[in-house]
Structure 1
C-alpha cells in the first residue's frame, strides 16, 4: 500500500513538472554558500521509440521514464535523493529509489557519505558516453547503488582515494512483474521459482584509486585507476556463505573534445550452491536472469563533442564495445556494442542509438544469455529517445 501511494505521489509530481516548464528550471530555495544551504529539485521526462529486430511490437512513440532529483548543498552538509519511474503498461507502473544519501565535507578535499549511493567500482557510475549502457550493467558491476558508508579523499598529487563498506543492496520497490527484481541496480535477488537458490550479497568492502596523469602535453588530459570488490554471498537456501571478488583497472584520455576510455577486469562469485555452482540468479528492472559466476569483462568507449552546431548547443557522436567473457567451458560470451549520437538544445536533448547484442537478454537474447548463453544470433535495436530536463 505504501509503495502504491508513493507511485501515485510521484506521478502527480511528474505531471506537475511537465505542466509548468517555465517554473521547473527555478525549483530551488536558498544559497549553497550559506550555512542554511540550498534545496534544489531537478530531473527529466523521457519519451522513446524503438525498433527491435526480434519483435515488431514496439513501433510507437511512448512515454518511457522520468527522474526526480532532490539535492541539498551547504558548505559542510550535503544530500542527494534520486527516484525514477518507468512505464511498462501504464504510467509509473515500475518505480524505484536510486540514491538516498547524506554527506559531510570534512574539508575541501575529504568527505564522508552515508546511505544508498553509487558503489565506487570501475571508472565511475557510468563507464561509457551512451545512454543505454553496456552489458556489464546486467552483471551487477556497473552503475550499482547499495547501502553503506564511503570515505573520499583528494590529494595534491592528483590522487583520489575512495574506501567504502556496504551492508547490503538497496532493496526492491514497485513493479508489475517481479516481487524482488523491481529495482534499479542488478543485485542477487529472491527467486520466483522455488527450485532456484536465493542469494544475498552483504558486507561489501570496496576501494578505488584514481590518478591524474600530469605529464601529458596540453591540451591532453588523462587518468588511470584501479578498484577492488570483496563481499559475502549468503546462500539463504542452505545457510552457507560464499563470496564475490572482483577487480577492475581503467583509464581515460581526452584531447580537446575527443575522449576515449577503457575498462577491464574480472568477476568471480562463489555461491556455495551445489545445484547451480556456475551461475547465480540476479535481477533488475523487474526481470530475473542467471549470470555466470566467473568471467573477464571489457568496456571501450569513444566520443567527440561538436559545440555550437548551428542552433544546437552540441552534437556528440559516440561508440561503445562491451563484453562479458565467461571462464566456464561451454558458456557463450555476452556482448553489447553500440554507435550513436546525442544532440543538445537548451533543456532538451535527442538521442539516436543503434545497438547490437549477442547473448544479451535486453537485446533479444534468451533468459540464459548472461549464463550459458546459447544464442548464435546477433540482435539489433534502434533506440530513439527525447529528453526534457527541468
Structure 2
C-alpha cells in the first residue's frame, strides 16, 4: 500500500514539473488582510435550564484571513480563535500556491480535501451531516493539484496526515476546525481524486465523482488499518438564477487495527475541542435547496431561504440511524451575514442530549427529534 502511494505521489510531482509556467512573475508583492467577528444565539429544546433563561447569546469566533502573492508564489491562510470550550485558537487552513497557468495550480499545506460538493455541501450555518463525519469542508496536510478548464475539472491530492498539531505518538488533538479521526488512531497517507463535468450553456449543471483512500495508524498495536470512501454528486448553481440545488450520495468504510479482542465497530472523531464515536461503516444521502431573494434597501440587500436534509445509514447491526434537517434563512446586510437556523436532529450529537454515541450506537428505542434554534451574526471585513 505504501509503495503504491509513493508511486502515485511520484507521478503527481512529475505532472507538476512538466506543467507550463507563467510567462512572467509579478513585480510587486500583494497582501490582502480580512477576517470576521461572529456572535451566536441559540435555544435548545432539550436543555431545560436554557429554556428557562430564554436561550444564550455570546461569542462565537474571531478569524483572520491573509492572502499574499509575490514572484509567482501565493499564500492563503485563515486563523480562528474560538472560546476555550470549543478548542481555542487554531489554523483552519493555510497553504502555499503556484499557478502553472490560468487552468492549473498546485497547493501545498493545510488545504481543502477534494471530496463531494465544494466548498460546502450545505447552505446553512450548521453544515450538513457530511461535515460531522469529516466529509464536508475537510482540511488536511498535503499537496493538491487542480486543473479546471470550465467544462471539466479534476483534482488529485496526497495527504500525509490530517490537521497535525501534535507530532509523534501523541493522540491527535480534537482542537481543530474539521472532523478527523482522533483517540488511539491517526489518519495518514491519504489519496484523493475528484472529477467534475459541467453542462449546459451557462455550465449551471455539475456532475461529480470522488474517491478517497488512506491508512489509519493505531497507537496501541503500531499497525496500519485502512479506510476509503466514494461519492457521487449533482449541483445546480446557475449564475443568473436564484435557485441552488445540491444532491449527494456517498459511502465509507474504516478498518482500524485494534488489539486482539478489542475490535470495535466505531472510531473516535474530534473537532472544536471534543471527540465522539462514529460507526466504522455507513452511507450518507443529502439533499439541499436554496432560493435567493434580492432586496434593494439601504440596510438589507438579500435573503437566501434554504432547507438542507441529511440521512446517515449506519451499516453496523444494532446502530440506530441519524437524520438531520436545517430550515432557515441567510440575511445579507452590507458586510454582515446573519444565519437564522431551525436545526432538527435525530441521533445527532450537536442536536440532542446524547453526545458520545449519537453517531455510533445512538439511543435505540429511546430516540426523539430535538430542535435547536440558532442565530449567527457575523461582520466580515
Q: 1:327 aligned to 2:321?
A: no
The separation in 1 between residues aligned to 2:29 and 2:285, in whole angstroms, is 41
1:267 alignment counterpart: 252
CA distance in 2, matches of 1:162, 1:37: 28
Residue 79 (1) aligns with residue 83 (2): no
Cα distance change, pair 127–231 in 1 and its aligned pair in 2 (3 A): same
Work out the number of aligned pairs and report it: 341
**What is residue 250 of structure 1 aligned with on the other side?**
233
- Structure 1 match to 2:122: 128
Alignment of 1:1-390 (within 5 A): 34-58=26-50, 59-73=55-69, 76-87=72-83, 94-155=88-149, 158-172=151-165, 180-190=173-183, 198-214=184-200, 221-254=204-237, 256-273=241-258, 274-311=261-298, 312-366=300-354, 367-374=356-363, 375-390=366-381
Provide the rounded CA distance (Å) in 2 between the counterparts of 1:56 and 1:228. Answer: 43
Measure, in 1, the Cα distance between the counterparts of 2:148 and 2:172: 41
1:57, 1:117 → 2: CA distance? 40
> For residues 144 and 250 of structure 1, what CA distance do their matches in structure 2 show?
17
Look up the SS of the partner of 2:131 in the other structure. helix
Specify the SS of the correspondent of 1:305. Answer: strand
Q: CA deviation at 1:323?
A: 2.0
For residues 9-46 of structure 1, what are the alpha-carbon distances to aligned partners after superposition, in whole Å with 9 as ceiling and x for unaligned? xxxxxxxxxxxxxxxxxxxxxxxx94323111111101
CA deviation string 1:215-245 (max 9, x = no partner)? x6x7x81100010000001111112211111
Shift of 1:365: 4.2
Query: CA, structure 1 residues 331+314, in 2 after alignment: closer, same or farther (shift >3 Å)?
Result: same
TM-score by length of 1: 0.83
- SS across alignment from 1:63: strand
Shift of 1:172: 4.1
TM-score calculated relative to the size of structure 2: 0.85
Aligned to 2:5: none
Range moving further from structure 2, 97-106 or 70-79: 70-79
Q: Is the 8 A contact 2:87 2:174 kept in 1?
A: no
| 8 A contact 2:172–2:186 mirrored in 1 | no
User: In structure 2, the residue corresponding to 1:136 is in which secondary structure?
Assistant: helix
- SS in structure 2 at match of 1:61: strand
What does the per-residue CA deviation read over 1:282-322, in whole Å, with 9 as the maximum and x for residues that have no partner?
Answer: 11111111100000011111101111243311111111001
Shift of residue 74 of structure 1?
Answer: 5.3
| Kept after mapping to 2: 8 A contact 1:291/1:371 | yes
For residue 296 of structure 1, give the secondary structure of its aligned residue in structure 2.
strand
Aligned equivalents of 2:138 and 2:292: distance in 1? 27
Contact 2:26 2:72 in 1 (8 A): no
Shift of the 159–341 alpha-carbon distance from structure 1 to 2, 3 Å rule, reads same
User: Which residue of structure 2 lines up, in the alignment, with residue 16 of structure 1?
Assistant: none
Report the Cα offset of residue 183 of structure 1.
Answer: 1.2
Deviation at 1:88, TM superposition (A): 5.1
User: What's the CA shift string for 1:231-286, capped at 9, x where partnerless?
Assistant: 00111111221111100110111451111010111010101224243111111111
